[in-house]
Amino acid sequence: MLKSSNIGYPRIGENREWKRTLERYWTGQVNEEQFLQDMKQIRLSHLRKQKELGIELIPVGDFSYYDHVLDTAVMFNLIPSRFKQEDETISLSKYFEIARGSDGKVAAEMTKWFNTNYHYIVPELQNAEPKLTHNRLLELYNEAKVNLGINGKPVIVGPITLLSCSKGFTETNREKLLQSLIPLYIEVFNELKDAGAEWIQIDEPILVRDKETNIVAELQHVYHEFHKHVKGINLIIQTYFDSTEYYNELIQLPVKGIGLDFVHDDGENLQQLLNSDFPQDKILFAGIIDGRNIWKTKLLNKYQLVQELLTVVDSCRLFLQPSCSLLHVPVTVNNEEKLDLQVKEALAFADEKLNEITLLSRVLNEEEPFSTIETYDVAVDTIAKSSVRNVEHVQNAIINLNQYSTSRIEAAERKKLHAKRWKLPILPTTTIGSFPQTKEIRKQRLRWRKGEITNHQYETFIQNEIKKWIKIQEDLNLDVLVHGEFERTDMVEFFGEKFEGVAITEFGWVQSYGSRCVKPPIIFGDVYCKENMTVKETVYAQSLTKKPVKGMLTGPVTIINWSFVRDDLPFADVLNQVALTIRKEVEALEQSGISMIQVDEAALREGLPLKQKKKDLYLNSAVYAFKLATSSVQDNTQIHTHMCYSNFDDIIHAIDALDADVISIETSRSHGELIASFEEHHYQKGIGLGVYDIHSPRVPTLEELIQNIERALEALDYRAFWVNPDCGLKTRGESETIAALKVMVEAAHLYRSKLQTVSKV
């Protein structure tokens, strides 16, 4: 009989109780002892639920106080040098200090986990001295066993992926670091074996990237060492997010289980399996339910997939599971009482996906009739045929895309027009768009949603916030202003609420980084918009000042990448539907007198496929959609865009091809390393390399910001350089925001004076 397994479960809880517990601790509302006890209860409730849902192999160790990569690094003493001290114990406060920074200590870099919207803390391995500080997996395994009688499956990031996702070492040092990590993993595994663990899941998603010779050698060396020194416990190498490029090597390794993604593999894992002799001594952990999207699975298709798998692997050597950790989807659909019933019945969040696993397992094991699958699939078939997926004018527009212009005059010519229009100083200062969302703002928005205040009262409140922050920006002497986005909950959710064909959940939260949770919209039908979305607030802000106020929109690629997207259309078709909707809003802003318009593509890089052969199609589609959204403006209208934490080396040509007049990206948290991309490419358009990290509560020093500006100007023409934070300021407090911006403007003015003095000489 085949069995069921899970790879990982969402941390945040049905009502974000995990997030609230974290933030109560950070603000001193609870002490460490109470925090640990509260987190334990949350953790146990998640394990209990998986057990009740019928999952036979339940993960432990996937739960984290912040990030699972940080957990692994801390467990092996991979601590950034600036956080080390004589006392070698790594306290809870030290753990959070690495993730969030503190006075005088910049937080560790944060970047996207492969091609997802989850951010991990990048281990820094300069001067690393690996050792086992504590076996957290053993603690969590014992906790599950003692409290719930669950013989769990400990989960850990594998050593090859851990190194590949780290920084601060050379390839020469990599071999040394790997050699020092192997015995530490072995120690962890043997302690788990002694405690009674039967399985260990070793996550190696690096194995779905393009094949590298050195990784082949590492893979063989590491797992033969594990086999040599770890006896009596079953090791699983778990891959996900795409097909593995190392299939032939994997099946020859001395491990018991191989975990493959049969959802996002484009059929390649299946073909490799069908074309090979899967070893008789191995168990296949088949990821057959989509762990990254929220649509119900058409179980008939998965039933047929499993039948194909069973031609190669006996049922007794097959575990069914999600394609990846369910960290990337919300917890449960059950609490969604306001969704359209047709949409709700077509959804499956984490709990429902685990139910799909167990339901399919029971049918395949002949414990339930086949008709159960047919009944389950009705909701999937119903939405596929519905009118929301067959809007004639939207589909006609996609068929006739060639009627829309996607080009402008040369950027250099536009730059002259823009300089003449605004006469901005060198190193112009601005922000990315959002200002602090205070408790009062959230309170008034909630009251408005509940009908406790009228539309007029809420609009007046928002206008007062805009007026207040326009004055603050003018007092700070910023050069280009923003309205602050006080009417918006989230940069994607806000637009999702305005779009037709998009649903917003009440409780569909997922973790983005730390305690930051987002609620991705659900694109369930054809996308369009009936009325303007941002004009009113932007025009009001512009009426309060003579300085330019940027219109603020979210770009089509980011809306797609930060939403749960219908799975019945090609990616490019849905993307272009959104692009045409944004294009209409760009035109409305311009017609209302707004001539600087920022269309943020914060998520451009994170949607990049993991394999080289798929990248061009994605980037070409992304560039086309951005230009489709932005190219209908007048020549003297300036288009800005913003991008979040990313390695830009492999997309720098696509960034240039977007043809935005000004881009802003992060450079502070990566300590200026991203600038190298622009040194090599000689980027000619306007660029703001965010000079301070907004994700840390600390106020940057003047010296830090001057250093960041100087580093940027080693690569960029000062006449193209803008000075701005690295991201929006929504999550920061008012006082720290003002203080940080004051330092930023001072740094810009000091360096501006220096440049003017030099130019006169």
Could you tell me which residues are annotated as the binding site for Zn(2+)?
A: 642, 644, 666, 727
Q: Maximum distance among all alpha carbons in the chain?
A: 87
C-beta atoms surrounding 611 within 10 Å: 16
Continuous H helices in 391-454:
392-399, 411-422, 439-449
Given a contact cutoff of 8 angstroms between Cβ atoms, the answer to whether 296 and 315 are in contact is no
C-beta atoms surrounding 88 within 10 Å: 11
Instruction: List the structure tokens of 142.
Output: 């014992």
Instruction: List the structure tokens of 739.
Output: 């203080």
Q: Please, which residues have CB within 8 angstroms of residue 398's CB and are 6 or more apart in sequence?
A: 573, 576, 577
Given a contact cutoff of 8 angstroms between Cβ atoms, the answer to whether 602 and 608 are in contact is no
Catalytic residue among 46, 68, 418, 695: 695
- Where is the binding site for L-homocysteine, in residues? 432-434, 485, 600
Q: Please, which residues have CB within 8 angstroms of residue 39's CB and are 6 or more apart in sequence?
A: 18, 21, 65
State CA 248 to chain mean position distance.
31
Q: In a 3-state reduction of DSSP, which class is residue 641? A: strand
Report how far residue 494's alpha carbon sits from residue 730's, in angstroms, rounded to the nearest whole number.
Answer: 14
Which pairing describes strands 686-690 and 721-722: parallel, antiparallel, or unpaired?
parallel
Q: Please, which residues have CB within 8 angstroms of residue 719's CB and are 6 or more apart in sequence?
A: 426
Report how far residue 722's alpha carbon sits from residue 661's, in angstroms, rounded to the nearest whole number.
Answer: 12
Report how far residue 35's alpha carbon sits from residue 750's, in angstroms, rounded to the nearest whole number.
Answer: 44
Nearest residue to 173 via CA among 218, 126, 109: 126
Nearest residue to 201 via CA among 250, 240, 236: 236
C-beta atoms surrounding 337 within 10 Å: 8
Instruction: List the structure tokens of 731.
Output: 């999550």
* Active-site annotation holds for 695: yes
Q: In a 3-state reduction of DSSP, which class is residue 451? A: coil
Report how far residue 757's alpha carbon sits from residue 430's, in angstroms, rounded to the nearest whole number.
Answer: 23
Structural Rg of the chain based on CA atoms: 26
- Tell the burial category of 600 from Cβ atoms under 10 Å away from its Cβ (0-12, 13-18, 19+): buried
DSSP state at residue 518: E
> Rounded to the nearest 10 degrees, what angle do helices 535-543 and 455-476 cross at?
50
Q: DSSP states of 75-100 as a string? A: HTT---GGG--SS----HHHHHHHHH
Number of residues written out for the chain: 761
Q: Using H for helix, E for strand and C for coil, what is the string for 260-313?
A: EECCCCCCHHHHHHHCCCCCCCCEEEEEEECCCCCECCCHHHHHHHHHHHCCCC
- 328 residue type, one letter: H
Nearest residue to 118 via CA among 257, 244, 277, 10: 10
Element (H, E) at 301: helix 299-309
C-beta atoms surrounding 352 within 10 Å: 21
How many angstroms separate the first and last alpha carbons of the chain? 83
Given a contact cutoff of 8 angstroms between Cβ atoms, the answer to whether 70 and 121 are in contact is yes
State CA 512 to chain mean position distance.
5
Instruction: List the structure tokens of 83.
Output: 């956080």
Element (H, E) at 60: strand 59-60
Q: Is the dihedral of CA 606, 712, 649, 637 positive or negative?
A: positive
- Where is the binding site for L-methionine, in residues? 432-434, 485, 600
- The residues that are catalytic are 695
